[in-house]
Amino acid sequence: MEDFIKVENVYFRYDEDEEEDNHAGASDYALKGIDLTIGRGEFVAIVGHNGSGKSTLAKHFNAIYLPTTGDVLVDGMNTKDDDHVFDIRKRVGLVLQNPDNQIVAGIVEEDVAFGCENLGVPSAEIRTRVDNALKAVDMYDYRRHSPDKLSGGQKQRVAIAGIIAMEPHCIVLDEPTAMLDPQGREEVISTVRRLNKERGITIILITHYMEEAILADRVVMVDSGRVFTEGTPREVFSRCELMKQHHLDVPQATELNHRLRGCGLELPECVLTEDECAAAILEMLKHHRKTDGSE
Amino acid sequence: MVRDITLGQFMPGRSLIHRLDARSKILFLLAYIVFIFVAGNYLSLMLITMASLLVILLTKISFRMYLKSMKVILFVILLTGILNLFYGSGEVLWEWWIIKITVGGINNAIFVTIRIATLVLISSVLTFTTSPTDLTDALERLLKPLTVFHIRVHELAMMMTIALRFIPVLLEETDKIMNAQKARGADMESGSIFRRIKALIPVLIPLFVSSFRRANDLAMAMECRCYNGGKGRTRMRIPHFSWLDLWGLLFSLVMFTGVVLCNVYFPPLVR
């Protein structure tokens, strides 16, 4: 897979001016030496508990924050290079946590058009892009509505449409579901997955819901400004103890499986979903009965 | 309570007035305001009031909405009306101490009341029938020539769009904070007016703080979407003048000529 975003040994701290009266040293840094590569078309979940630096990292991908030391390269362009900021933001869209605070206009379709208008896309093309983007997130029927009449999940999908209309290669979502109810969360996540599968858009999903992280191709665990483990969801969540050490939850099904295994039951090393867990337990019980019967 | 305000609210529709170009609506409104004050006698005033009632009928929005928008400033209308009663010269009808009511005063009062009422009604027509985005867009286009004087028209229009967008958001938030404070035992509905104003402080402070947080977020979201000011920006919708606007112009011209003719051929009652 071709590399799209490369994060090279990035350190970052807020308020660089405070350097003189700095007494705590390295612990001031929100990011402490992040190395990360994201491939084109990949679906990556970045997880970590509050204050782990995952949101700070998210804002490095499109040059909202610039690394204190180290480099972030997007499609070969350094985010520190002022001439490229516009091109980087064109390629990497960022969706924020609170849907209310990122909608600019008073009508859904006008808001979706906002990004395209900034890019200077001709009027007729904006129209088609906006319609397509709204259809992609399944909000076309609401195009003339006012955003404040929509539910949280719908608003967040409008925000995503606003990014899609700009036709980015990559969408970074910074805890897009944190303020939504379960239904809204489901709507947003399935939209994001579809965009990844059908349009090949690279997705970087920042979240603290492990049930969302298991849908990704790759999970990156962040704690106190460092990447401490990464791999496929199965690889990562099989290390239950490690996750606990870093104050992270694992999906409930995974935890149940892990504990049962701890009791000496013959279960697979790692399950991710409830269905998988149920199937594994059923398999074990069947096996058990067979061996009981034969004795 | 805050939700009852209809002044400045948009009511979607497909009437003739709705379909007028927002730019011409703004220009007609301005001309209208001028002519309300040009009308100097009852005949011309009646002409312009009738015209505004006709326009209101054409919007197909129930008259009750207009009355609601009047309610907000009813106090102002009545106050100016009553104050004007005591000004003016001419035949004295009633006198007590230093208060004199004259024929001129009564005329003044009636004129001012009708003028302000018509003004509010016709302004409501603009805001009721034009979406906020169209309105700010039209203002931006109309004020474009001012960029010659280094006035940042686009930024002003953007500020207006955002302000309008966040009114309902902040109203909802106010409600939430008020409920949260009430749940903690805050009393906002009793006591003197000063006590009630004081009781609002714990509502306003969190509202302020959260507005700043929202502004910060919004600025970031706008940056993420490549917002760079007005330069090099295109628009999705480009407004076009239509035949309707021409008819509007014709109607306005006929009416304004009527007002001027009435003024010329009949004696003015007020200055």
CATH classification for the domain delimited by A3-250, as one of 3.40.30.10, 3.40.190.10, 3.40.50.300, 3.40.50.720: 3.40.50.300
Which residue stretches of chain A have pLDDT < 70?
16-27, 293-295
A130 touching B, CB under 8 A? yes
Beta-carbon separation of A102 and B165 below 8 A: no
Report whether pLDDT(B3) > 70.
no
pLDDT for position B7: 46
Render B102-130 in DSSP notation, one character per residue: EHHHHHHHHHHHHHHHHHHHHHHHHHHHS
Beta-carbon separation of A118 and B227 below 8 A: yes
Quickly state the pLDDT bin for B1 (edges 50, 70, 90): very low
Among B11, B159, B214, B236, most A C-beta atoms within 10 A, so best to mutate, is: B236
Is residue A172 within 8 Å of A95, Cβ to Cβ? yes
Q: Which residues of A touch B213 (CB under 8 A)?
A: 101
pLDDT: is B268 or A48 the higher one? A48
Beta-carbon separation of B236 and A110 below 8 A: yes
Rounded Cα gap, residues A197 and A38, in angstroms: 16
Mention every residue, 6+ apart, whose C-beta is less than 8 A from residue B264: none
The beta-carbon neighbor of B225 closest among A101, A118, A122 is: A118
B63-72 and B74-85 are packed helices; what angle lies between their axes, rounded to 10 degrees?
70
pLDDT for position A51: 81
Rounded Cα gap, residues B86 and B106, in angstroms: 8
Tokens 């005329």: give the residue: B107
Q: Are strands A218-223 and A43-47 parallel, antiparallel or unpaired?
A: parallel
Pull the structure tokens for residue B167. Answer: 């009114």
Pull the structure tokens for residue A111. Answer: 């808001």
Beta-carbon separation of B225 and A86 below 8 A: no
Smallest CA–CA distance from A167 into chain B, residue: B225
Q: Looking at residues B109-127, what average pLDDT do you find?
A: 89
Q: Which residues pair with A219 in a beta bridge?
A: A45, A231
Q: Which residues of B touch A107 (CB under 8 A)?
A: 131, 133
Nearest C-alpha neighbor of A231 from the set A246, A244, A248, A214? A214
Q: Which residues of A touch B222 (CB under 8 A)?
A: 104, 114
Rounded Cα gap, residues A147 and A133, in angstroms: 16
Beta-carbon separation of A106 and B223 below 8 A: no
Report whether pLDDT(B269) > 70.
no
The beta-carbon neighbor of A148 closest among B168, B220, B235 is: B168
Rounded Cα gap, residues B177 and B202, in angstroms: 9
Q: Looking at residues B46-73, what average pLDDT do you find?
A: 86
pLDDT for position A27: 58
Nearest C-alpha neighbor of A159 from the set A240, A88, A101? A101
Q: Are strands A69-74 and A77-78 parallel, antiparallel or unpaired?
A: antiparallel
A106 touching B, CB under 8 A? yes
Beta-carbon separation of B236 and A148 below 8 A: no
Nearest C-alpha neighbor of A204 from the set A219, A214, A194? A219
Write down the domain spans for chain A: 3-250, 251-295
